[in-house]
Amino acid sequence: MAFRSIARHLEENGSALARQVSQAGLSLFDPADLGPLMDLIGDSRYVLLGEATHGTAEFYMWRSFISQQLIREKGFSFICVEGDWPDCYRVNRYAKSYPDSGADAYEVLVDFNRWPTWMWANWEIVALVEWLRRYNDGRPDKVGFYGLDVYSLWESMESIIAYLEKYDPEAAKTAKKASSCFEPYGQNAEQYAWKVAMVPESCEREVIDLLVELRHNPRRYERDDEDAFSAEQNALVMVDAERYYRTMVRGGAASWNVRDKHMFDTLIRLMQFHGPGSKAIVWAHNTHIGDARATDMVQAGEFNIGQLVREHHSGDGVVLVGFATNRGTVVAADEWGAPMEDMMVPPGAPGSWEDVLHQAGNQDKLLILRDKAENPQWTEARGQRAIGVVYNPAFERYGNYVPTSLPRRYDALLYIDESHSLHQLHVVPQINVPPELYPWGI
């Protein structure tokens, strides 16, 4: 079927589906409305919470509400996010009141200075982290906050060197050798990637040697169990980051899969570290947590965290929760590395899931999708919007919609009809003053 014919077909069938969505949609006004989602989650050990953008306040706030209920009522062990390990580990130390972990969450989070800063340096996360610290106060089993991502090659290297110089100066020599291999590239990942693509002499051996060194006799590092775990995780970040940057220049699915496999492996390591019966909350973009097999990602040879968790841990209970919005504003940039902006998000494209959800009523709503997975109208693939850190509203219909079978991609979905930009910390002038109504009931 030609593209225009498909679009017309989806638009024409959208109205009938919208009536079904209207009947199935549950009120989403305040945290008390999350009861049906909590019932769906039950005793599940993995709850993955998505987002349709990296810059929407409501997505962060609702994920905070859900996470708090999971922690308070169902004993979840930690939150792990689509963020860098070293930065998020400092947040973890603050949330658990480790000595010298920072005066407040603002102080810790404003130090997130690698682009895109707004993803975690925002007031919505400040509110959540302060809540975590209060919740953890006096508890023996404290709830953690960790980063899953693979980008922090140099930051992880610096963390390892600092750790080993403190506890094992001899092993620090191996870390410095790995560091010296990367020095000619001046912390420029793209320069390293292009260089090893042209001349096949990489730093792979050096980072693997460092990981082996850290694993050789781990007991000697266990002055602080979590610091020892963090040091080894930083070494794993270096190994996978080096591999990621080598594959990045080739294009295709390889680098995407390296990154999502690293995030999945980190999630499983965290579950093992927290022991039997541990439970995980994951925050990441819909493209990472919605099952890739229910989108066109599978044709591209790509997998993601949601698919891997379902494939390998369905027996432990897995719930994937997607998010969507029809229109509003968002924090993003018009190209990689550019200054952040508040941008307009136009109404969803005709025939898209956003369009159908809006036709079903302009109220925010919760959809439980698991029982719709065999309904032909619901499972028909139609575009779902995906906005990343780079965004151009004028061209969004040409590259911001992922063909999606919604009830096969997620177990539930939160829909926000009109959404608003995150409240970022890195504003000019930078003033440590919360925005109006902060912390929004968190």
- Per-residue pLDDT tens over the stretch 321-353: 999 999 999 999 999 889 999 999 999 999 999
pLDDT at site 2: 43
pLDDT at site 386: 97
Mean pLDDT of 28-50: 97
Between these two residues, 216 and 158, which has the higher pLDDT value? 158
Of 423, 397, 305, 296, which Cα lies nearest the Cα of 48? 305
For 364-425, give the secondary structure using H, E and C.
CEEEECHHHCCCHHHHCCEEEECCCCECCHHHHHHCCEEEECHHHHCCEEEEEEEECECCEC
For 3-97, strand residue ranges (E) read 26-27, 46-49, 78-81
pLDDT at site 245: 84
**Is residue 184 very low, low, confident or very high in pLDDT (cuts 50, 70, 90)?**
confident
pLDDT at site 208: 81
Fold of 3-36+43-49+56-149+275-284+298-368: Rossmann fold (3.40.50)
Each residue of 273-320: pLDDT tens digit?
999 999 999 999 999 999 999 999 999 999 999 999 999 999 999 999
pLDDT at site 43: 97
**Is residue 12 very low, low, confident or very high in pLDDT (cuts 50, 70, 90)?**
low
CA distance linking residue 283 with residue 148, whole number of Å: 9
Each residue of 87-104: pLDDT tens digit?
999 999 999 999 878 889
CA angle 21, 25, 29 (to 5 degrees): 145
CA angle 115, 120, 122 (to 5 degrees): 105
pLDDT of 219 strictly over 70: no
pLDDT at site 205: 79
CA angle 257, 263, 267 (to 5 degrees): 140
Of 35, 37, 25, which Cα lies nearest the Cα of 416? 25
Phi, psi of 361 (to 5 degrees): 125, 135
Between these two residues, 209 and 120, which has the higher pLDDT value? 120
pLDDT at site 3: 39
**Residues ≥6 apart with Cβ < 8 Å to 257:** 301, 302, 303
Asked if 80 contacts 147 with a C-beta cutoff of 8 angstroms, the reply is yes
Structure tokens, 342 = 């508040």
Of 243, 237, 242, 235, which Cα lies nearest the Cα of 209? 235
pTM of this structure: 0.92
pLDDT of 429 strictly over 50: no
pLDDT of 369 strictly over 90: yes
Percent of the chain topping pLDDT 70: 88
Mean pLDDT of 214-241: 78
Asked if 123 contacts 440 with a C-beta cutoff of 8 angstroms, the reply is no
pLDDT of 397 strictly over 80: no
Q: Is 294 exposed, middle or buried (0-12, 13-18, 19+ CB in 10 A)?
A: buried
pLDDT at site 342: 95
For 284, the 3-state DSSP assignment is: coil
CA distance linking residue 300 with residue 277, whole number of Å: 35
pLDDT at site 8: 57
Percent of the chain topping pLDDT 90: 65
CA angle 17, 395, 381 (to 5 degrees): 25
Mean pLDDT of 147-161: 90
For 284-333, strand residue ranges (E) read 318-332
Each residue of 295-304: pLDDT tens digit?
999 999 999 9
Asked if 334 contacts 386 with a C-beta cutoff of 8 angstroms, the reply is no
**Paired strand residues for 46:** 280, 318
Of 333, 296, 406, 326, which Cα lies nearest the Cα of 54? 333
Ranges of each domain in the chain: 3-36+43-49+56-149+275-284+298-368, 153-270
Mean pLDDT of 243-247: 85
Asked if 404 contacts 384 with a C-beta cutoff of 8 angstroms, the reply is yes
**Residues ≥6 apart with Cβ < 8 Å to 87:** 111, 112, 114, 120, 147, 152, 155
pLDDT of 215 strictly over 70: yes
Asked if 297 contacts 411 with a C-beta cutoff of 8 angstroms, the reply is no
**Is residue 436 very low, low, confident or very high in pLDDT (cuts 50, 70, 90)?**
low
pLDDT at site 222: 53
CB atoms under 10 Å from CB of 98, counted, come to: 15
pLDDT of 374 strictly over 50: yes
Each residue of 260-270: pLDDT tens digit?
999 999 999 99
**Is residue 11 very low, low, confident or very high in pLDDT (cuts 50, 70, 90)?**
low
**Is residue 379 very low, low, confident or very high in pLDDT (cuts 50, 70, 90)?**
very high
